[in-house]
A and B are shown apart, each in its own frame.
Chain A
Amino acid sequence: MKLLIDKHARYFQLCLNSLPQKAQSEDSNKLALVYFNLYGLALIGKLDLEKCSGYVDYVYQHLIPLQDLLIQAFRSSNTFALDSSKNDYDLPNLSSTFFALAILLVLEEDFSSKIDRHKIMNFVSRCQVKDGLEKGAFRPVLDCNGNPYGESDLRLCYVAASIRTILGYDKLPASERVNDFDIAALEAFILDKVAIAGGLSSAACAEAHSGLTFCGIAALKQISREHFLSGANWIDSTIEWLAHRQVDYPDLLYKEDYEFYDSIDEGGFNGRPNKFADTCYSWWVMALMQMLCHDGLLFDLPRALEYLLGVTQHKLMGGFGKDGQAFPDPFHSFLGIASIALIHQNAPDLEFEGMESLQPVDVELVILKKLRDFIDQLWS
């Protein structure tokens, strides 16, 4: 088995240079695309910081010259930039603010003096829902009157908690966290979303989903670590639910066909029961297990690796597709690499070509592990 380091490096580099027209339907995730490709390169030890130095200014150009001087935030794409004297509709975007900061981190840019972390946290706090069913959750943008707009779901909760970590707010004494959001409300929102069989969804009693479960739990872990020491029921049920996400259809028990059961998926992970496996779930599920279980990754790691390297890794172009048939894309390529880095971290004896290039990954922020120290230095 072989991780095609050079091909992946070429794939990410190609995407960093330019993307085809169909990528315009992802324009509102422009900074996310940059993040996937840069971190993809960084995780295989192929990010050349000197070559990327121009990207720092590119990211800062997404900072919106807001009329409201109390907040700071980034826009999602420069396609949407408006004339600064008429920019009420240049909407500050929560996810893009996370991706902008994460990109600056991987470029090892000291942004501590160029942005005001309290103003960014003020923006994040304003995106939080203050009452009703969704109290404690976050919405993706502030509308032109400064009110949160859009769906509130666990992805946005994750983004908010991660911004807070990158800004070093979690390490500040309470008295200095002048613009912190309502931690207790976010905690309550997340815990209310645990399904009876484990796993989380964006609404209470809706269907649990691996990606959303990752977002909820990684957010919770960043805002209040004490929950993870308690041995609560929801932890056991979620570990059980996660263990069942690795896909296998042994003939002994699976005697009839079902359209969602495909033997090529075996070893991979699905997002919910009776669904296809997908590269990205390898990450969400394994990273979650790492956060929740002290006994490490309770999976069949050789088969998980085989699925990624043998089925979804694109042998010609490099990169990973969502499954064996799909064309590679930056999102699945990045999470495919991150998953393999995580497997390697947990099972160093499981040998495969290319493994020596892999860099340790941080499961909460999905960044290089060493950048956690960089964050600490930024704010010390």
Chain B
Amino acid sequence: MSEPCQIMYSEEYLSTMSSLKQYLETKTYTEEALQVTEEALSLLASHYTAWCFRLDIIKHLGKDLFEELNWCEEVAIANEKNYQIWNYRQRVIELILEDPALAAQFQVRRELPIFQMMISMDEKNHHVWLYRNWFVKRFELYDDAGELEFVNKLIDKDARNNSAWTHKFFLLFSRNDAAENIVAQELDFCREKIALCPQNPSLWNYLLGIYASQERLLVELKDFCGQYANINDEEIKSSFALETLAKIAVEQNDVLLACRYYDLLLQKYDPIRASYWNYLSKKILLNT
């Protein structure tokens, strides 16, 4: 038989997988087996069998689950592309929470240093942010002051960190009860940040996201956008401001004005999206 994509496995890999195989076949749940899962996972992080087996060993041996969380942290730091670790960690936390005695010892704060560490290694690590999303939902931390402080710090450091903006939106606006003072405060915050960096898509998405989630009319933003996209000036400061002006024109049924904005985007400020601006012009013209 011919084998496609034959991998030139190392001796270490083959011997580790073969010893893992013996433990798996005999279902041997021992410290030695646990050690082998660690070795196998360091060579092959996406080996689901080894993850499952490890969890089974932990349960059989009645291992200290907090120690297992420590282990997860070491593994995550050693290999930041190890995506499976986060789901595994969730499982371990769920096991802790199922046992009232252990649950009483579990502190939500415990998760924060590992986040800090992982995010400092890669501030846009999608898997780590997904885990943080789960963490907030699981422990209802939407209103936690520390959580907000954490994202704000990241945004202060890099206002183009889309992951941080997304998380902030999730904390403040994903439930439908954002207080009026929070909305006002965040709109101010956006205005301040846009003044510093008007051509930043993450910020405009955040701003328009607030409007959409609160069902507010975009026309409120008309003067604000005008500061960054005054079409009588030689050049504008933000294509996103111009795009928002076009949305406002559509909202107000001013089709011709919207088409004029689209045309400017097409001709001058965002020509790579010419087909898209044409498509929008055509679409609103057809609807009138």
Q: Which residues of A contact B (CB under 8 A)?
A: 15-21, 23-30, 33-34, 37-38, 52, 54-55, 57-58, 61, 76, 79-80, 82-83, 86-91, 93, 133, 140-141, 143-144, 149-151, 195-197, 201-209, 239-240, 243-244, 246, 248, 250, 252-254, 256, 258, 260, 266-267, 272-275, 293, 295, 297-300, 303, 330
Are A295 and B279 closer than 8 Å at their CB atoms? yes
19 pairs of residues in contact across A and B, judged by CB atoms under 8 Å: A16-B5, A19-B6, A57-B1, A89-B27, A89-B49, A91-B48, A141-B52, A143-B56, A150-B87, A195-B166, A196-B213, A205-B170, A207-B163, A207-B166, A246-B272, A248-B271, A250-B270, A274-B201, A330-B5
Inter-chain contact B13/A24, CB cutoff 8 Å? yes
* Contacts A18-B8, A58-B3 known; 5 new A-B pairs at CB < 8 A: A28-B46, A52-B4, A150-B51, A253-B237, A300-B275
Supposing A28-B46, A144-B52 touch, asked if A196 and B272 sit within 8 A by C-beta, the answer is no
Q: Across the interface, do A37 and B161 meet the contact criterion of CB distance under 8 Å?
A: no
- Per the bound structure, the CA–CA distance linking A79 and B8 in Å amounts to 12
C-alpha spacing A105/B166, complex, angstroms: 40
Smallest beta-carbon distance A127→chain B, Å: 12
Q: A86-B25, A252-B269 are contacts. A27–B205 as well, Cβ < 8 Å?
A: no
Interchain CB contact under 8 A, A275 and B8: no
Distance between Cα atoms of A300 and B8 in the complex (Å): 42
B63 contacts A by Cβ under 8 Å: no
Docked-complex contact B1 and A21, CB < 8 angstroms = no
Q: Which of A30, A150, A205 contacts B5 (CB 8 A)?
A: A30
CB contacts (< 8 Å) of A297 on chain B: these are: 275
Q: Which residues of B contact A58 (CB under 8 A)?
A: 1-4
Contact of B21 among A55, A82, A151 (CB under 8 A): A82
Q: In the assembled complex, how far is the CB of residue B285 from the closest CB belonging to chain A, in whole angstroms?
A: 13
Contact of B112 with A by CB under 8 A: no
Q: B53 interface residue, CB < 8 Å from A?
A: yes
B residues at A contact (CB < 8 Å): 1-10, 13, 17, 21, 24-27, 43-49, 51-53, 56, 83-84, 86-87, 124, 126, 129-130, 133-134, 137, 160-163, 166-167, 169-170, 174, 197, 199-202, 205, 208-209, 212-213, 235-239, 268-276, 279, 282
Contact flag A55-B2 (CB < 8 Å), given A23-B7, A80-B17, A253-B239 = yes
Could you tell me the distance in whole angstroms from the C-beta of A317 to the nearest C-beta in chain B? Answer: 17
Task: Determine the chain B residues whose CB is within 8 A of the CB of A260 once the complex forms.
Answer: 160
The contact of B10 among A24, A29, A54, A205, by CB within 8 Å, is A24
How many Å lie between the Cα of A61 and that of B4 in the bound state? 13
Residue from the set A17, A151, A201 with the largest chain B CB neighbour count within 10 Å: A151
Please state if B160 and A196 are interface contacts (CB–CB under 8 Å). no
Contacts A207-B162, A248-B272 given; indicate if A254 touches B2 (C-beta within 8 A).
Answer: no
Which A-B residue pairs are the 8 nearest by beta carbons? A54-B2, A89-B24, A151-B87, A248-B272, A243-B276, A205-B170, A86-B25, A207-B166
Q: Do B276 and A15 have beta carbons less than 8 Å apart? A: no
- A141 with B124: CB separation less than 8 A: no
Given the interface pairs A207-B126, A258-B160, the reply to whether A28 lies near B4 with Cβ below 8 Å is: no
Judge whether B49 and A141 touch: CB under 8 Å: yes
Task: Tell me whether A21 and B7 are in contact in the complex, defined as CB-CB below 8 angstroms, given that A253-B237, A274-B161 are known contacts.
Answer: yes
B47 touches A28 (CB 8 A): yes
User: Are B272 and A15 in contact (CB-based, < 8 A)?
Assistant: no
State whether A202 touches B56 (Cβ < 8 A): no
Cβ distance A13 to chain B, nearest Cβ, rounded Å: 10
B contact residues around A87 at 8 Å (CB): 25
Question: Within the assembled complex, what's the spacing in Å between the Cα atoms of A337 and B85?
Answer: 32
A141/B48 contact (C-beta < 8 A), A27-B7, A253-B238 known: yes
Do A29 and B46 contact each other (CB < 8 Å), given the known contacts A54-B1, A133-B137, A205-B169?
yes
Task: Please tell me which one of the listed residues B8, B83, B209 contacts residue A21 in the complex, with CB atoms under 8 A apart.
Answer: B8
Chain A residue with the shortest CB-CB distance to B137: A133
Of all chain A residues, the one with the shortest Cβ separation from B21 is A82
A252 / chain B contacts, CB cutoff of 8 Å? 235, 268-269
Find out whether the CB atom of A88 lies under 8 angstroms from the CB atom of B279: no
Across the interface, do B24 and A298 meet the contact criterion of CB distance under 8 Å? no
CB of B269 within 8 A of CB of A250, answer yes
Q: Given A19-B8, A243-B273, A197–B21 Cβ distance below 8 Å?
A: no
Query: How far in angstroms is the closest Cβ of chain B from A274?
Result: 4
A293 to B278, CA, bound (A): 13
Residue of B nearest to A206 (CB): B133
